[in-house]
Structure 1
Amino acid sequence: MAQADTPHPSTPADIPGPPRLLTALLVTMAVQMVSTGGALALSTIAPIAAAALGVAPALVGFQVSLVYLAAAVTSVMAGGIVRRFGPARASQISMATFVIALPAFGSGSLPLMAAAALIAGFGYGLNNPAASQILIRVTPEGRRNTVFSLKQAGVPLGGVTAGLAFPAMAVALGWQSGLWLAALAPLALILVLQRLRPAWDADREPGARIAQDWMQGPRLTLREAPLRALGLLGLLYSMLQLSLSTFTVVMLVTEHGWSPVAAGSALALIQASGALGRVIWGFLADRLGAGFLVLAIVGAISGAGALAIGPAAAAGPGVQLALLCLIGNTTNGWNGVMLAEAARRAPTGLVGAVTGGVLILTFGGVVIGPAGFSAAQGLTGSYAATFALFGLVSLAGAAFAFRAHLANRR
């Protein structure tokens, strides 16, 4: 383990040491929290907003899919954007899209809300490539899974914040006012990032051509078998992950009689369990030195749990919530491990490009997941039955991850 603390070769001499790592981790996590909370904002108040708009609550799945469709497109260009403008500026651009999108989500106009989803998705797609470029410089090799998983804990923590804040603000202030007020959070982060730009963007390449480099990440991902495997796992696992975040509140309110605030609080607990899971599974991957094995374990538990959602509902709210928290713990546990594995295999200076290439496939699953869930739920008439179908997808991913683990051991 003596080499575990060796920094990445691209680490510049002016950004060393734990204090810089802590700053980088906290800020990138905050950016992730705000963007995830913004992307899921309407999901947490779907019954309330849908009633006001006169549409079916399940349609929120298409809004989430629009966000991640735009994020998938951005991921293709993200490596070039990060190289040209720097990771701090790229993160500021991301936050600026949510300053625009959140008030537009509260506009009450369906066309404007759809446009806002695409704007938010453009910003969301910049987050991980920029954060990976920042974190790889300051993270010792033996701690990468843990650090990247801590950063990715911002996804469920953003869900926790959204699940607690938006339903409460909808009841107290009205659903639109809460969305307008939330735009202050990304605005504050733009100011924080401005102070960090001199150090974080010091190695940017102003002459880098975004259009010329847009296929670099996908080419690298498709060329290397482990990177291809990581992208495919992201596609399969993200389908259940985003569906859990998007449809839990609607399922609990419409099928099980929970109040919107109670269902939002349940989602917050599920996301908190997910945040803890990201840290636990990332730490375990570092300890075992076997990222693909950990990815197989979390996929198997997630899939089995999704199959049990229907029977658990009959056992009472406590059992149902406990199971949903277990699924949240595992279905949120893979992202940091995947990103750390991708960064570890990336050529020096191309972490952002490789991350974007892997995330194209991941966002494909996010696009397919919520929209596919909405369509499947319309056919089955049951959220529990639809979750069971998505559990089978997660189990297929677990089998594939275990096969990749065995292949990488040879």
Structure 2
Amino acid sequence: MPIIVLLSTTLVLAFSSLVALFPAAIAPELSGVLGVSSATIGLQVSLIFAGAMLTSLVGGPLTRRLGPCRTSQLSLALLGGGAAMMAMPTLPTFALASLVAGLGYGMTNPAASVLLVRFTPPERRGLIFSVKQSGVPLGGVIAGASAPVLALVVGWQAGLLLLSAIALLGIVALQWRRESWDDQRDPDTSWLATPFSGLDVVWRQRSLRYVALLSLCFSAIQLSVSAFTVALLVEDLDFGLVEAGLVMSGVQVTGVVGRIGWGEIGDRLGDRLMALAIIACTTAVAALLVATMTPAWPKWLVIVLLGLLSFSSLGWNGVFLAEITQLAPPHRIADAAGGCLVFTYGGVLLGLPMVTLLHSVVGDYTSVFAILAGISVAGLWLIHQARRARCMDRIS
């Protein structure tokens, strides 16, 4: 049962990431169709996470009402519907579709947290949550490898419609586990009456508050790296579109390895905040190195450094979510996860527009990666504050 739960939650998250990053992987192609810049296409990810923020507000009570399995099915339905709407080649429809897909994205982690806490031992949660969170870079791998090829072979619209078909298959596959996974649901839970209950749980407990703010910083870095890697390679470093897509897939693979590795490190250290501090330092160094890249650099070195940045900047999520389950009251884990993820998605909403604005000012992507290093250093201060607050929470 734990293996099936882990596989199911990982695949649902991978699909949500695939839908979110599919347009970014073909940004130069879409920019011509929609009549906007490739950087503007990257803002589509911000719209997805705006929708995710809305459903994160009610993720805890909604999961209690529907059950984690039915919530995951609803998530897939919204993601698949959003992908189908994105196939309509108009900018307003594309923007609305991104918001709809985001509503589905926001339901994935509260539901998965309930299932994983129920079926996995506390001392292995860092690794288990990290394996599940590896679905995010795994979705990026699939997007980078498939989206440019599909765009050239069958067209980008057919590729998006294929995602809708995959969502339908996922809904059907989950149905056979619904009875056993949703046996603890409470149909009388009012999920709209207290939309800010998760935020209240997070803000009242100082350690959760600082961890939530840390996720805002880390998510801004992570999605900036994922959303603009192809554009960075094509526009600044003279890579071809398909070549850049393959590089994106490769560096996302290092993100998958990083998530699993950092989860294991956090469990072995017995201090997941220390693991997050090491991640912050590695990310800062890697981002500064990327900021110095030029087209004269050997392509293998570009790939290695982007892999290092991906290994760290995409590796934090499982450690973060496992720490939430340790800090949160046992009966409010879904609420705490949803509340913290509001801040996480807020980092995407702030980070991607910031990178887009900086790109419009300086004219290249490499220069703005230096600011990501600064954000990572700010994360170190938040980790320090979280450690102090955690100690005080335990004393009290």
**Matching of residue 346 in structure 1 with residue 328 in structure 2:** yes
Q: Please give the residue correspondences for 1:41-60 in structure 2 after superposition, counting only pairs within 5 Å.
A: 41-60=22-41
TM-score by length of 1: 0.93
**Matching of residue 397 in structure 1 with residue 374 in structure 2:** no
Task: Find 1:245's aligned residue among 226, 236, 245.
Answer: 226
1:75 to partner: Cα distance: 0.6
Identity within the alignment, %: 38
Task: Find 1:125's aligned residue among 100, 106, 115.
Answer: 106
Which residue is 1:229 aligned to?
210
Structure 1 residues without counterparts, runs of 5 or longer: 1-19
TM-score by length of 2: 0.96
1:60 to partner: Cα distance: 1.4
Tell me the alpha carbon deviations over residues 193-216 of structure 1, each in whole angstroms, 9 at most, x when there is no partner: 111110111000000001223222
Contact 2:30/2:41 (8 A) holds in 1 = no
1:403 to partner: Cα distance: 4.4
Which residue is 1:316 aligned to?
298
Number of residue pairs matched by the alignment: 391
1:407 to partner: Cα distance: 5.4
1:409 to partner: Cα distance: 5.5
Contact 2:140/2:252 (8 A) holds in 1 = yes
Alignment-mate amino acid for residue 323 of structure 2: E
1:406 to partner: Cα distance: 5.4
Q: Secondary structure at the match of 2:291?
A: helix
Per mean C-alpha deviation after superposition, the further-off stretch among 218-227 and 304-313 is 304-313
CA distance in 1, matches of 2:33, 2:363: 23
**Matching of residue 366 in structure 1 with residue 348 in structure 2:** yes
Contact 1:45/1:170 (8 A) holds in 2 = yes
Which residue is 2:358 aligned to?
376
Q: Secondary structure at the match of 1:202?
A: coil
Q: Secondary structure at the match of 1:350?
A: helix
Tell me the alpha carbon deviations over residues 80-136 of structure 1, each in whole angstroms, 9 at most, x when there is no partner: 110100011110111001221112112111111111011011010000000001100
CA distance in 1, matches of 2:234, 2:183: 50
**Matching of residue 287 in structure 1 with residue 268 in structure 2:** yes
Contact 1:40/1:162 (8 A) holds in 2 = yes
**Matching of residue 334 in structure 1 with residue 316 in structure 2:** yes
Which residue is 2:339 aligned to?
357
Tell me the alpha carbon deviations over residues 260-290 of structure 1, each in whole angstroms, 9 at most, x when there is no partner: 1111111101111000000000001000111
1:293 to partner: Cα distance: 0.7
1:253 to partner: Cα distance: 0.7
1:186 to partner: Cα distance: 1.3
Tell me the alpha carbon deviations over residues 209-237 of structure 1, each in whole angstroms, 9 at most, x when there is no partner: 01223222111100111111110110001
CA distance in 1, matches of 2:389, 2:50: 32
Q: Please give the residue correspondences for 1:4-403 in structure 2 after superposition, counting only pairs within 5 Å.
A: 20-313=1-294, 314-403=296-385
Which residue is 1:3 aligned to?
none
Contact 1:312/1:323 (8 A) holds in 2 = no
Contact 2:141/2:248 (8 A) holds in 1 = yes
